[in-house]
Structure 1
Amino acid sequence: MQISEKTILGKWKEYTLKNDMGMSVSILNYGGIITKMMVPDRNGKKENIVLAYRDYQGYELNPHYFGALIGRVAGRIKGATFTLNNEYYSLEKNDGENHQHGGSDGFHQIIWETETFQQKNTVGLILKYKSKDGEAGYPGNLDVVVTYTLTNDNQLRLHYTANSDKTTPIALTNHSYFNLSGNLKETVKNHEVMIDSSQFAELDKHLIPTGRLMKVEGTSFDFRTIRKLGTGFKGDFEQNKIAGNGYDHYFIFDHTKEYNVVLKDPTSGRVLAVKTNQPGMVMYTSNSLDEGQELTDISSSKYLGICLETQESPASLEQKGFPTVILQAGEIYKRETIFSFKIEH
């Protein structure tokens, strides 16, 4: 197990965690951004399996949130407002009339305090941040700790804890775009996906949940048995069309299977299995990814990556039936998502 660090652009630190199996993960203290994830294919060839900018300057704006920690609330808040305990809160409108991913100065744009650790079979990075009462419009002084742990079993564990002195909304996630082909050789159209979910949130034309939970059965959203991702890109289902001929939807987990999500690339043999105590996940298939941005291996294009944003749903601020984002004052927020990387021969 190894940890190395280097200075980036004279102002950030990048930490690289490496296990004894040759897998490595590189993370910035800026935004908690995962900049590289080197994972072997079925032939033992190690390649990067996340989208990343060719030049680090791209992360200064990072409009697509590549690899970043998202907070205080991941997802979209309708009208950039919410009411809590009879108090009205107004947030930044950074997605049309709505508030998205904690605002333009959210957790993806801050310098986190960092601390590394190394044990016999694990190596990791702890990130800490104190978000002050009123920051980005949210109530409460919020203490957040996020831990990235890499194991010798090729697991990357993301552990989130937080507490606030006022009742407040919170939904933390990581916004890495995965592409298991390695070094962005292909889009994710031929990736195969299993999601342990029998219902998802219907979206309106602004990508805001309508309040209706739809059954996946008989639709291109039925991933209860593994299926090719691209089948939903070219279908006639209205919900795929609304999202730009893809997916940008919240799935509620049934928690009936060993893993909540399994992602496979048949060509490389890489498999990503996801296990979490989060109630659901936004699956986003980079339908709105701008073309022409210089990434590590090629220029950006639609369907180049898939985000598996395990989280609660901000729709719960105004709709019933969604997993709540409300953290009570003095309560401990504790979530974990484990990404396990395997090989299928």
Structure 2
Amino acid sequence: MTRTSRRTVLAATAAAGLAVAAGAPAHAAAGGRTPSKELFGTLADGTKVYRWTLANGGTRLKVLSYGGIVQSLETPDRHGRTANVSLGFGGLPDYVAKSPYFGGLIGRYGNRIAEGRFTLDGVTHRLPVNDGPNSLHGGDRGFDKRVWDIEPFTGRGEVGLALTRTSPDGEAGYPGALAVRVVYTLTARGEWRIDYTATTDRATVLNLTSHTYFNLAGEGSGSVDGHLLELAASRYTPVGATLIPTGELAKVARTPFDFRRARAIGEAVRTPHEQIGHGQGVDHNFVLDKGITSRPEYALTVADPGSGRVMKMYTTEPGMQVYTGNFLDGTLTGTSGRVYRQGDAFCLESQHFPDSPNQPSFPSTVLRPGDTYRSTTVHAFSSR
């Protein structure tokens, strides 16, 4: 489907300068139930895949042991009506054969690495090429296509899952045996928090993220063009024709990428601009004004005027990939039984910058023995 076939921006978007910064909490504090577990399917090699369900503070999260995938994320609207706001599939076979990273835990390297190679300490490492000439999201079998060990936990008003696996030295071309721990937590206020940690026995590069596709009006409900996005980023990283950054940190002012004040996603993707053409919409890394932080700090707010749902994100990361569902083309059918078309979702991937191993001016993504990789991102849900 071409970009020009996007549906008209919702009329509600034009209404009234909805200030994105505000929003009454949608959830009362509540204790979480013990996570539940059920069989979701079996892989071709006989490995069983389980689905875990977490519920707390009005939010419900369903997570697969395959890929650490968020299969469903339910949160209430302004009237208290709960809906799944993440795209996904109803069965395991579609995740294995078709998924464009729906809900996946991404690694070893989120986003693109140019020509599937990088040099570290004088040694060139070659990676699987799976996105034109480039390696994307860890190659053709990244962390989103591996089975994770999962342990549930509860306590202090929180409920969660600890996902662990060791990526062996040389997996997908990356050096070092990497021990990874990712914790999904639901708080009493219905926040979804992700804490990533990792250690390695050999110098490597690492950039972990989550690739949930959101539609705050509800999964399968149609276009997100009317959603309002506010992003605390004065610069972004322009890309070439294959979506690899040029190395420039360009100002967003007077471009379609200026979300410093809340504006409709559809307005941005329809603005004529060379960069919009490269991505068939927005598919760009934004340089967060806050930079790298030791604790999660404010990055963005996105709001759906129709349902009243609001999601704020806080992160320790310096970048945020905004992707406006440009390559959804009507060939995938989701959990609701409806097809997903171009612009039916958006992704917000907290991250270090794309292709950082080949861009010396970007913040480093090198992890060395003795050091610990740490990253945290929080999704805070409310309504108004």
What is aligned with 2:122? 86
Could you tell me which amino acid in structure 2 is paired with residue 333 of structure 1? Y
What is aligned with 1:28? 64
What is aligned with 2:7? none
Work out whether residues 312 and 325 of structure 1, in 8 Å CA contact, stay in contact via their aligned partners in 2.
yes
> Pick from 18, 31, 42: which aligns with 2:55?
18
Provide the C-alpha distance between the structure 2 equivalents of 1:143 and 1:51, rounded to a whole number of angstroms: 29
What is aligned with 1:247? 282
Moved more, 264-273 or 290-299: 290-299
> Pick from 199, 211, 220: which aligns with 1:175?
211
> Pick from 36, 60, 64: which aligns with 2:100?
64
Provide the C-alpha distance between the structure 2 equivalents of 1:314 and 1:243, rounded to a whole number of angstroms: 14
Matched, 1:300 2:329: no
Change (3 A) 1:115 1:197: same
Note the C-alpha offset of 1:234: 1.2
Work out whether residues 35 and 52 of structure 1, in 8 Å CA contact, stay in contact via their aligned partners in 2.
yes
1:139-180 CA distance string (max 9 Å, x none)? 111000000000110100000000111111000000000100
SS at match of 1:272: strand
What is aligned with 1:260? 299
SS at match of 1:152: coil
Work out whether residues 133 and 139 of structure 1, in 8 Å CA contact, stay in contact via their aligned partners in 2.
yes
Change (3 A) 1:90 1:258: closer
Equivalent residues in 2 for 1:283-294, closer than 5 Å: 283-294=322-333
Structure 1: gaps (5+ residues): none
Could you tell me which amino acid in structure 2 is paired with residue 88 of structure 1? T
Provide the C-alpha distance between the structure 2 equivalents of 1:57 and 1:175, rounded to a whole number of angstroms: 19
1:77-127 CA distance string (max 9 Å, x none)? 101011000011111111121111001111001110110001141100000
Work out whether residues 203 and 242 of structure 1, in 8 Å CA contact, stay in contact via their aligned partners in 2.
yes
Superposed structure 1 runs of 4+ greater than 3 Å apart: none
Structure 2: gaps (5+ residues): 1-31, 43-47
What is aligned with 1:40? 76
SS at match of 1:126: strand
SS at match of 2:339: coil
Could you tell me which amino acid in structure 2 is paired with residue 33 of structure 1? I
Note the C-alpha offset of 1:258: 5.9
Work out whether residues 244 and 354 of structure 2, in 8 Å CA contact, stay in contact via their aligned partners in 1.
no
How many matched pairs? 342
Work out whether residues 230 and 259 of structure 2, in 8 Å CA contact, stay in contact via their aligned partners in 1.
yes
Work out whether residues 291 and 302 of structure 1, in 8 Å CA contact, stay in contact via their aligned partners in 2.
yes
Provide the C-alpha distance between the structure 2 equivalents of 1:214 and 1:186, rounded to a whole number of angstroms: 32
Change (3 A) 1:124 1:62: farther
Could you tell me which amino acid in structure 1 is paired with residue 362 of structure 2? F
What is aligned with 1:220? 256
SS at match of 2:144: helix
1:217-243 CA distance string (max 9 Å, x none)? 111101111111111121111111111
Equivalent residues in 2 for 1:325-336, closer than 5 Å: 325-336=365-376
What is aligned with 1:73? 109
Provide the C-alpha distance between the structure 1 equivalents of 2:188 and 2:40, rounded to a whole number of angstroms: 27
TM-score using structure 1 length: 0.96
Work out whether residues 74 and 101 of structure 1, in 8 Å CA contact, stay in contact via their aligned partners in 2.
yes
RMSD in angstroms over aligned alpha carbons?
1.4
Moved more, 251-260 or 119-128: 251-260
Provide the C-alpha distance between the structure 1 equivalents of 2:97 and 2:198, rounded to a whole number of angstroms: 26
Moved more, 330-339 or 9-18: 9-18
